A and B are shown apart, each in its own frame.
Chain A
Amino acid sequence: SAVISQKPSRDICQRGTSLTIQCQVDSQVTMMFWYRQQPGQSLTLIATANQGSEATYESGFVIDKFPISRPNLTFSTLTVSNMSPEDSSIYLCSVEREQETQYFGPGTRLLVL
C-alpha cells in the first residue's frame, strides 16, 4: 500500500482566489493522479502527473485552471485557480503502486463562497 497525506484537509475560499493543494507520498512513485469529486458525485480524473514532464490533462480540464507541479517522486501540488462556487469539491490525489493498484489520499474538501 502507500501512505499519502494531503494539505490542507479542508478550506473555505473566496471566489476569484486560488488554492494550492499538496500531496505527499511515503515512498517514490512514478505515477500520481489528481481527481475531483463533486458533491454527491463519483470521481473524475483531472490529470496525470509524472515527474520530469508536463502533466497530462483530461478532457474538460486545462492547465491554466488547474496547474500541477511534480518536482520529485514523492510530492505533487494541484492549484485551483480563479475559483468559483462550481469548484467546490473534494480533490484527491492518488498514486499507482504494484499490480496496477491506485491508492488515494484523504482528500481536500474545498468550499468556495
Chain B
Amino acid sequence: GEDVEQSLFLSVREGDSSVINCTYTDSSSTYLYWYKQEPGAGLQLLTYIFSNMDMKQDQRLTVLLNKKDKHLSLRIADTQTGDSAIYFCAEKGGATNKLIFGTGTLLAVQP
C-alpha cells in the first residue's frame, strides 16, 4: 500500500537553511504537498508540486522532487523562529482524491 516516511526531528539555527525530506512509495502520485502545523493549530498548506515537475520555488520555500527515487524535499531559506512547527508531506495517488500523509517532521529553530 501507500506509505510516506519522514524523519522525526530537525534542529537548525536561526538564519540557516532547513531541509526536510520525505519519501513515498506510490509511483502514480499526481500531486505532492507540504503542510505546516503550529502548536494547537490546524494544517496550513505551504506549497505543492505536480508530479511532472522537478522543482518549485515560492519565496523562502523550495520544493525538489526526484520522481525516480520517490523523494521529496522542502528547503526553507533563512529559517526563522516562527518556522518552528511540524511539517507534513502528503501525496495524492493517481486513482483517488485521498491524501496520504507522512509521519511529520518537528522543526526546532534555535535562536
Which A residue's beta carbon lies closest to that of B100?
Answer: A45
Check if A100 sits within 8 Å of B30, measured CB to CB.
yes
In the complex, what residues of A have CB within 8 A of residue B35's CB?
104
Check if A42 sits within 8 Å of B88, measured CB to CB.
yes
Q: Name the contact of B92 in the complex, choosing from A100, A104, A105 (C-beta under 8 A).
A: A100
Contacts A100-B31, A101-B48 given; does A45 touch B99 at CB 8 Å: yes
In the complex, what residues of B have CB within 8 A of residue A1's CB?
45
**In the complex, what distance in Å separates the CA atom of A48 from the CA atom of B97?**
9
For chain A, what secondary structure do more than half of its interface residues adopt (helix, strand, loop), or is it mixed? Answer: strand
**In the complex, what distance in Å separates the CA atom of A33 from the CA atom of B88?**
17
Contacts A42-B103, A42-B104, A100-B92 given; does A107 touch B42 at CB 8 Å: yes
Q: Which of B31, B44, B45, B103 has the most CB of A within 10 A?
A: B45
Mark interface residues in A75-113 (1 if CB within 8 Å of B CB, else 0): 000000000000000001010100111111111000000
Number of interface residues of A (CB under 8 A): 22
Mark interface residues in B43-77 (1 if CB within 8 Å of A CB, else 0): 11100100000000000000000000000000000
In the complex, what residues of B have CB within 8 A of residue A29's CB?
none
Q: Nearest Cβ in chain A — how far from B23, in angstroms?
A: 14
Check if A45 sits within 8 Å of B88, measured CB to CB.
no
Q: Name the contact of A96 in the complex, choosing from B44, B97, B102, B103 (C-beta under 8 A).
A: B97
Q: Nearest Cβ in chain A — how far from B9, in angstroms?
A: 12
